[in-house]
Chain A
Amino acid sequence: MIDRLNKAFESRVRLGIMAVLAVNEWVDHAQLKEFLSVTDGNLASHLAALEELKYVQVRKRFIGKRPNTSYKATTAGARAFRDHLDAIESLIPKP
């Protein structure tokens, strides 16, 4: 049972990122930071890890002259997140 828990989501920040991306299309760095109340560096390293796993897709573009980076969950990322939630749920004894 425990095996079904995804190691990638052991971090609360990573799980939080996936939760936000599960219900939104593209979310930019600043918005993620606000939702999760984490520092830039912390968020960036977790996002990099998720990108490495191909769980999130990254889009860099310019809005006017300012660079803007947005993230979106990939199909694989969304499935992994759902499976992880199911696994947590199955660990809780039914009342």
Chain B
Amino acid sequence: MTDQDHLQELARIRGLMDRSTRFLSLSGLSGVLAGAAALVGAFAARAHYTALYASGSVSRENEGLNQYDPAPIIERGFSEQVAFLVLDGLLVLAIALIGALWFTWRRSKRTGQGLWDASARRMLWNLLVPLAAGGLFTLALLWNGAVLMAPSATLVFYGVALLNASKYTLDEIRWLGLSEIALGVVAAFWPTAGLLFWALGFGVLHIFYGGLMYLRHERGNAAA
């Protein structure tokens, strides 16, 4: 082999190692925490609605049938429930993100894999593109008054983002993504039960797969 061949061989090996590296420091515990936060958030939203219905300030007909009519939202601006939902959702998101960062940072110290290496960047990029599109799409739904479609849209886009990122991280993420997509599609045909689906998707599924990841990859390897 000539020097040129050796150089090419090294480049090939380097490329292979780089492409095949998965981000393995993702902690299942961050999923469990995100799920718990989502469940609390969903219960808060439910309680808020119940209180509003009880006080008579919203009627069910208004929320159900006229949801595609943009007039109410444009006249009232974002209604109080929507404002509460957005705030509630953002709070859950913040807790979930901080938790994910903390647990994953802790885990990356143990695995010795950097928190911000090529595999992490590639995973995040593949996650964030569909996720950002989904976020903007959901904002547009809220803006146009299709509030009841928001849970379905967030679930589907989140599932697509996970499925896309799963090639570069733990395998469980693929199944979590597929489950979120399936749930989101079903939710689209059942818009009045949106909150329930949202709680199932962001709460129960996160806890389930997060727990599974923890049991499979972390507890057993704690000493390693």
Residues of A within 8 A of B (CB): 12, 15-16, 19-20, 22-25, 27, 31, 35-36, 85, 88-89, 91-93
Contact = CB atoms under 8 A, between A and B. Distances in A.
Contacts, number: 43
Contact of A19 (B6, B20, B24): B20
Task: State the main secondary structure of chain A at its contact with B.
Answer: helix
Nearest to B9: A88
Contact of A24 (B10, B12, B13, B20): B20
A20 B24 CA distance: 14
Interface of B: 1, 3, 6-7, 9-10, 12-13, 16-17, 19-22, 24
B59 to A, nearest CB: 49
Given A20-B16, A93-B3, A88 B10 contact: yes
18 contacts: A12-B12, A15-B9, A15-B13, A16-B12, A19-B13, A20-B17, A20-B20, A23-B20, A24-B20, A24-B21, A24-B22, A24-B24, A88-B6, A89-B10, A91-B3, A92-B6, A92-B7, A92-B10
Contacts of A89: 10
Contacts of B9: 12, 15, 88
A27 B20 contact: yes
Nearest to B221: A25
A92 B1 CA distance: 11
Given A25-B24, A92-B3, A93-B3, A85 B19 contact: no
A33 to B, nearest CB: 12
Given A24-B21, A88-B6, 4 more contacts: A16-B16, A24-B20, A25-B24, A91-B1
Contacts of B12: 12, 16
